[in-house]
Amino acid sequence: METKVWAHRGASGYAPENTLEAFELAMRMGAYGIELDVHRTKDGKLVVIHDETVNRTSNATGYIKDYTCQELKKLDFSNSMSEFKNTRIPTLREVFGLIRASSIMLNIEIKCDRVIYYGIWDELVKLSREFGMDDRIIYSSFNHYVLRELKKIKPQAPTGLLYSCAILDPWVYAEYAEATAIHPHFMIPLNTPGLVEQCHENGIAINAWTANEPEHIAGLVQLGVDGIITNYPDVAIKLLDK
Ligand code: G3P
Ligand code: MG
């Protein structure tokens, strides 16, 4: 099966990460899917942003959990890209609206690393049902307990286990966790001979993040990973076409 290209936080090499602008660009570039990160506001809205705080990517400071959605919508998320001045933070609902008519896939990374958003799994499942997006989403998280909670309410939901150190026999763990895929840091498959084959022999997909150098992307394609998550989907697509 051909390796799929996932746009990391959208085409974030070219537009502010995790914004509608970056997602639109990813679609125009022909990415197979979009990877994005989800947090929850003070008033219970699901918003798309990487960090627990707005400090790095906006013109303000503070935790997402302490802002209402309306307050967040006033901030500038252009993240030092001057041509994108006044770019707004998207809600997940807005992203669903943007991509619904297309066929692009979505990798929703549930951010429950430092702040735990209890019940976010229920809200995600509800929203994806409302938009008829069930078949187009793979959920991932570094917090595997969260994926287990999600599986309790939606057992057939595809899940990817994010991790960043070279754990032993991750396909065994993936089977235990009832996950569809492992999502390792890209250096792990590159440095672990046989990992891709063993995952595939055991029915586990492998999607690697975040490979941006052509040399790394080419190496992952050669290994036959199922997906490459990259800030530069156009570069990966071009390499795959060769
Ligand atoms: O989902 C892949 C990748 O996004 C995981 O790391 O920190 O960029 O969310 P991070
Ligand atoms: Mg992410």
Residue boundaries of the structural domains of the chain? 4-241
Q: Which fold has domain 4-241?
A: TIM Barrel (3.20.20)
**Are the C-beta atoms of residues 95 and 19 closer than 8 Å to each other?**
no
| Distance separating alpha carbons of residues 229 and 11, to the nearest angstrom | 10
Q: Would the pLDDT of 242 be above 90?
A: no
pTM reported for the whole predicted model: 0.98
In the chain, % helix, strand, coil (3-state, to 5) comes to: 35, 20, 45
* Residues 6 or more apart whose Cβ sits within 8 Å of residue 193: none
Which residue from 82, 8, 84 is spatially nearest to 48, judged by alpha carbons? Answer: 8
**Are the C-beta atoms of residues 124 and 110 closer than 8 Å to each other?**
yes
**Average pLDDT rounded to a whole number, residues 201-220:** 98
pLDDT of residue 209: 98
* Ligand approaching nearest to the C-alpha of 228: 1
pLDDT of residue 88: 98
**Are the C-beta atoms of residues 181 and 174 closer than 8 Å to each other?**
yes
Distance from residue 78's CA to the centre of ligand 1 (Å): 19
Which residue from 52, 78, 79 is spatially nearest to 66, judged by alpha carbons? Answer: 52
Whether 8 is a known active-site residue: answer yes
Q: What share of the chain in percent tops pLDDT 70?
A: 100
How many Å separate Cα 216 from the centre of its chain? 19
Q: What burial class does residue 2 get, using C-beta atoms within 10 Å of its C-beta: 0-12 exposed, 13-18 middle, 19+ buried? A: exposed
pLDDT of residue 63: 98
Q: Would the pLDDT of 1 be above 90?
A: no
Which of 5, 50, 212 for a ligand 1 pocket mutation test, highest count of atoms within 8 Å of Cβ?
A: 50
Distance from residue 56's CA to the centre of ligand 1 (Å): 16
* Residues contacting ligand 1 via CB (< 6 Å): 8, 35, 37, 50, 109, 140, 162, 183, 209-210, 229
**Average pLDDT rounded to a whole number, residues 207-230:** 98
Mean pLDDT of the chain: 98
Distance from residue 171's CA to the centre of ligand 1 (Å): 20
pLDDT confidence band for 11 (50 / 70 / 90):
very high
Whether 216 is a known active-site residue: answer no
**Average pLDDT rounded to a whole number, residues 41-57:** 98
With H, G, I as helix, E, B as strand and everything else as coil, classify residue 1: coil
| Residue range 142-183, pLDDT digits in tens | 999 999 999 999 999 999 999 999 999 999 999 999 999 999
Q: Encoding tokens for residue 173?
A: 């763990």
H/E stretch holding 69 reads: helix 69-72
Which residues hold their Cβ within 5 A of ligand 2, which is an ion? 37, 109
